[in-house]
């Protein structure tokens, strides 16, 4: 069974600093996808970034990048130049590439950006 | 374009009552998912539809939970004989057919069973 582990319940960062949110995963599948979602206090789940297991380059989307280390089974999210609006819950998720392609989520990390 | 729409946004019901939660996916998205999110937790998978059929219902906690998608678009999650432990946010998501498409989530329905 697939499992996602996020070991940081909470992170506090000064505005404009970079922050890394940790995510490790466990799977026996060779083909899978890794996602990060942001959930502000309003409750909506916002897709941030995707990394496929066969992608050789780390994914980037604006200020977001995914530090993918396949051998270590880690998929950390890096946010550069943090902003106050980045304060939210962040969830790492894995998608099975067969069947339902459902996402399995981690417990989340609450990120707080201090001015 | 319009995103995933869920109604109601909030639902308060008494223990033992029946509730229906509605999800209207993004137009053209054939895949639809229901998730449940308890306070302080990540979303947990309940059921997946591809078109009209429930292709994977392995996450439904028991037979009090049921979902339908009769015309391959709108879906309804039905909970019978609600219990206080059913209180949670119920999230619906849809996905475009293209490979690697992300799930797009609605704002959820917050269910409170008193």
How far CA B39 is from CA of B23, B29, B90, in Å, comes to 21, 28, 11
The neighbouring-strand residues paired with B49 are: B32, B54
Q: What is the pLDDT of residues B61-85, one digit of tens each?
A: 999 999 999 998 999 999 999 999 9
Chain B hits for A55, Cβ within 8 Å: none
DSSP β-ladder status, B10-13 and B109-113 = parallel
Check B41 against A99: CB less than 8 A apart: no
Predicted pLDDT at B1: 57
The answer to whether A103 contacts chain B (CB < 8 Å) is yes
Contact between residue B77 and residue B63 where contact means Cβ atoms under 8 Å apart = no
pLDDT at residue A102 tops 80: yes
Chain B hits for A98, Cβ within 8 Å: none
CA max distance for chain B: 42
Check A45 against B55: CB less than 8 A apart: no
Check B93 against A35: CB less than 8 A apart: no
Task: Count how many Cα atoms sit within 13 Å of the Cα of residue A63 in the half-sphere of its side chain.
Answer: 12
Residues 6+ apart with CB under 8 A from B36: B43, B44, B46, B88, B89, B90, B91
The alpha-carbon radius of gyration of chain B (Å, integer) is 13
Find the residue in B nearest to A103 (Cα). B45
Predicted pLDDT at B55: 87
As a whole number, the mean pLDDT across chain A is 94
Nearest-Cα distance to chain B for A98, in Å, is 11
pLDDT at residue A13 tops 70: yes
Cβ contacts from A onto B, under 8 A: 58
Least confident of A4-8, A52-56, A62-66, A77-81: A52-56
Question: Strand ranges (DSSP E) for chain B?
Answer: 5-7, 10-13, 19-24, 31-37, 44-50, 53-56, 65-68, 75-79, 88-95, 104-105, 109-113
Q: What is the pLDDT of residues B9-67, one digit of tens each?
A: 999 999 999 999 999 999 999 999 999 999 999 999 999 999 888 889 999 999 999 99
């Amino acid at each position: 069974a697939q499992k996602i582990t996020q070991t940081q319940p909470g992170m506090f960062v000064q505005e404009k600093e970079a922050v890394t949110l940790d995510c490790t995963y466990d799977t026996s599948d060779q083909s899978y996808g890794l996602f990060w979602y942001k959930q502000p206090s309003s409750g909506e789940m916002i897709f941030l970034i995707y990394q496929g297991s066969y992608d050789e380059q780390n994914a980037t989307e604006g200020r977001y990048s995914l530090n993918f280390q396949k051998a270590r089974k880690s998929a950390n999210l890096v946010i550069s130049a943090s902003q106050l609006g980045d304060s939210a819950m962040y969830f790492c998720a894995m998608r099975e590439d067969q069947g339902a392609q459902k996402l399995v989520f981690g417990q989340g990390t609450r990120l707080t950006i201090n001015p | 374009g319009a995103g995933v729409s869920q109604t109601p946004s909030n639902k308060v019901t008494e223990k033992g009552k029946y509730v229906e939660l509605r999800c209207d996916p993004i137009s053209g998205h054939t895949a639809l998912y229901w998730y449940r999110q308890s306070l302080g937790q990540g979303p947990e998978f309940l059921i997946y539809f591809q078109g009209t059929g429930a292709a994977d219902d392995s996450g439904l906690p028991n037979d009090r939970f049921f979902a339908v998608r009769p015309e391959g678009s709108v879906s309804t999650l039905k909970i019978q004989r609600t219990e206080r432990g059913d209180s949670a946010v119920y999230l619906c998501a849809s996905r475009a057919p293209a490979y690697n498409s992300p799930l797009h989530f609605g704002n959820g329905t917050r269910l409170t069973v008193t």
